Amino acid sequence: MLIAFLEKQQQENAGEMALADLEEFYRAAKKHYDEDEVFAERARGYVVKLQGGDEYCREMWRKLVDITMTQNQKTYERLNVTLTRDDVMGESLYNPMLPGIVADLKEKGLAVESEGATVVFLDEFKNKDGDPMGVIIQKKDGGYLYTTTDIACAKYRYETLHADRVLYFIDSRQHQHLMQAWTIVRKAGYVPESVTLEHQMFGMMLGKDGKPFKTRSGGTVKLTDLLDEAMERARGLVAAKNPDMPADELENLAKAVGIGAVKYADLSKSRTTDYIFDWDNMLAFEGNTAPYMQYAYTRVLSVFRKADLDEAELLKAKVVITEDREAQLAARLLQFEETLNVVARDGTPHVMCAYLYDVAGLFSGFYEHCPILSAADEATRNSRLKLALLTAKTLKLGLDTLGINTVERM
């Protein structure tokens, strides 16, 4: 569709389009597709040609991909996401595999011809009449479906990448689609049962009215605009608390706090549930928020600014537990590895957020009730300083696993 519309608009210089233009370009193309059957037929033909390796279609397609990926990379960098172009494997990678997949499924008796298309009927899924549901893997015009690509993708990840666990972070509404593709994958023997295929589905971001998050005009909220506003709001909050802060430090702090707030607000909620997007809550310096966690980290660091000590020597100090609050903090710190394993196993970053928030709260109680620098003796002082140091390291490492930067001062 996009190739046909790009051709129609004669935008051979599309490589210079901004992402915002591309989004508008997509909307215009979709409208044209829905309203002009001749255009729609040409667009469908280009899909088949593109999947077949037609060079003209591939050249037009590459222009659109380059625009998208360039803008995606800029967003990744803003979000402190470490993905690069080398990590991206688009669905076009699997196009050469698709004819072989269809032929193999036919040979194995899993796929049959039905009304000109190639279909796999699955007993595991029933249609409204109670009959096995048919999953199309090749249309009558020769084009392939997303299901076909997902089958090839799973096969590639096992046979070529040697994956032993594959996680799909996709909207919950795609669950049946994935289950059907994976059922075919298992029946065909492309991926053994020992390799897990997991749908890490997620809920929706809602506005304060409880409806899907939209702009005031009812349009889709762009992530870049959201991050810009987050930084602007964070800049105002930080400047109000630190009116004399140098401009470069203010900018770095606004980025860490603003971007961190958006990410933490999302990651701190259970992945599968919907949540309300609220600027005031996510930028608050109280509660389970990124600004609070970043502030908690700087509060721990302030202890060391007041003490002249050698970190390496401090780590050799023996931890001596004499108070309940020391014991509670120490015990929770020891649970970091267990927490990390749970997050990795279940795909639940909100568990890490809850853990870090708990650690910050326990440190606050420890700090208020257990004198550190003015401890009764050197052994107790060093023990408590070590607990503080381990708390700082745990908070920093935990936030880093979430892709959230810490700061030295707020």
* pLDDT of 18 higher than 60: no
Give 8's pLDDT tier (boundaries 50, 70, 90).
low
Instruction: Give the pLDDT confidence score for residue 347 in this predicted structure.
Output: 94
Q: How, if at all, do strands 165-168 and 132-138 pair?
A: unpaired
The pLDDT value recorded for residue 149 is 96
Selected residue with higher pLDDT from 380 and 212 = 380
269-291 burial, b for 16+ CB within 10 Å, e for fewer?
Answer: bebeeeeebeeeebbbeeebbbb
- Give the DSSP letter string of 257-278: HHHHHHHHHHHTS-TTS-EE--
Looking at per-residue pLDDT, the higher value among 10 and 140 belongs to 140
**Which of residues 5 and 195 earns the better pLDDT score?**
195
Q: What is the pLDDT of residues 306-358, one digit of tens each?
A: 777 778 888 888 999 999 999 999 999 999 999 999 999 999 999 999 999 99
- pLDDT, position 31: 84
Yes or no: say if 173 and 179 are a contact pair by the CB < 8 Å rule: no
pLDDT at 20 over 60: no
Mean pLDDT of 269-277: 91
Least confident stretch, 83-92, 176-185, 287-296, 382-391: 83-92
**pLDDT at residue number 256:** 96
Report all structural domains of the chain as residue ranges with CATH numbers, in order of start. 1-88 (no CATH), 89-201 (3.40.50.620), 223-401 (1.10.730.10)
Say if residue 54's pLDDT is above 60. yes
Reading phi first (left if > 0) and then psi (alpha if -120 to 50, else beta), residue 189 is in: left
- Nearest Cα neighbor of 339 from 358, 356, 352, 357 is 352
Q: What is residue 15's predicted lDDT score, i.e. its pLDDT?
A: 46
